[in-house]
Structure 1
Amino acid sequence: MSKSWILPAAVASVAALVVAVLGATITDLGPWYQALGKPDWTPPGPAFGIIWTVVFALTAMAGITAWSKAPSGRAADWVISLFALNAFLNILWSILFFRVQRPDWAMIELTFLWVSIAVLIIYCGRFSRVAAVLLLPYLAWVSIAGALNWEVIQLNGPFG
């Protein structure tokens, strides 16, 4: 039995954990966030942690699957690069929304995050349908986050 999955699994797990911890550290649910008007359909606070945990676990599994199914070293490098770009954009959204307190800028950035997930689905799907399917909940959740972000802008803007 081959153990070729151990290294990508370890790397993907550590990467997902680092992104999750950075995102959680950046996320400040203090007075500024609490004072924001939010739509009635905003999920309860604890739901965010649960959903992000599931999304990051599925994303890590997608990364492992896509990397291991990549038809060449160059394709595997692209998988890693696209996931790294996506991780950067994920963290940047939290910085813009919670630290810079600019939901309007975060909304613009979220479009790049959404596109990066779509690109991951398309690229990884070329050689792993499973990886593409594992990324669909991430795209769905970021779509919901985008709708929430938009509503926060509508209820509280202008910012700056």
Structure 2
Amino acid sequence: MATHSQHGWHHWKWWQMALITVPLVVIAGNLSGYVSNSGFGNPWFDMVEKPSFMPPGWVFGVAWTTLYTLMGLALAIVLVAPQSRYRRLGLIIFFVQLALNYLWSPVFFGAGAIDWAFIIVIAMAVGACLTVSFFLRVNRVAGLLLLPYLAWLCLATALNFEIGRLNPGADRAPLGITSAR
């Protein structure tokens, strides 16, 4: 049974870890978007037709900053949790899906590879589902913190697919997944 002082020490360790993980996850995500010229203002992206359910451009900056912050907090919680099989597997899958997350913008916006980006976002969503499952077993709050990210990935997947469908010929590396051509 943890004493009150041990419980307080655990919270202090979590806050210390969050002071590292949150800025790292947010900065790396912003850097990925910046180097790939993601979003509106990218000449290739500006020319493609967008689906009717596309949020305004400012929503993406707010959403991704919030989601990366929540991801960093969840990561901090799991990193200070006791060692376990679920913790180890959850961290591995978290970092794999996070790497895919950081890869998506350069592939979609930088390379204009809509189909490849679609494959990546599907893999991200699967990885996020698995991460939530493992994180919930480590710490309920850590798993719940990732649910908004999972919901946003559903929207991102639909946007990615619809942009491909609405813009046959715009994909610079087509695989024939999102467009009929």
Question: Structure 1-normalised TM-score?
Answer: 0.89
Maintained 8 Å contact 1:63/1:79: no
Q: Which has the larger radius of gyration?
A: 2
Maintained 8 Å contact 1:67/1:79: no
Tell which deviates more after alignment, 53-62 or 26-35.
26-35
Q: Which of residues 30, 46, 65 is equivalent to 1:21?
A: 30
- In structure 2, the residue matched to 1:46 is 58
DSSP-derived class of the 2:13 partner: coil
Per the alignment, do residues 73 and 133 of structure 1 end up closer, same or farther by CA in structure 2, a change over 3 Å counting?
A: closer
Cα offsets for 1:16-61 (capped at 9, x unmatched): 1232222221233322110000011110000110111111111111
DSSP-derived class of the 2:45 partner: helix
The offset of 1:112, in angstroms, is: 0.8
Spell out the pairing of 1:99-138 with structure 2 (5 A cutoff): 99-138=110-149
Tell me the distance in 2 between the aligned counterparts of 1:155 and 1:121.
32
Does residue 4 (structure 1) correspond to residue 13 (structure 2)? The answer is yes
Cα offsets for 1:135-156 (capped at 9, x unmatched): 0000000110110111100000
Say which structure, 1 or 2, has more relative contact order (CA 8 Å, 6+ apart): 1
Tell which deviates more after alignment, 23-32 or 135-144.
23-32
- In structure 2, the residue matched to 1:97 is 108
Cα offsets for 1:109-140 (capped at 9, x unmatched): 11111111111101111121111111000000
The runs of 5 or more residues in structure 2 that have no matched partner are 1-7, 173-181
Q: Which of residues 33, 38, 41 is equivalent to 2:45?
A: 33
Cα offsets for 1:54-107 (capped at 9, x unmatched): 1111111111122223x3176555444333222210011111101111111100
RMSD after superposition: 1.8
Maintained 8 Å contact 1:19/1:87: no
Tell me the distance in 2 between the aligned counterparts of 1:157 and 1:98.
16
| Number of matched pairs | 159
Question: Structure 2-normalised TM-score?
Answer: 0.79
Tell me the distance in 2 between the aligned counterparts of 1:12 and 1:79.
16
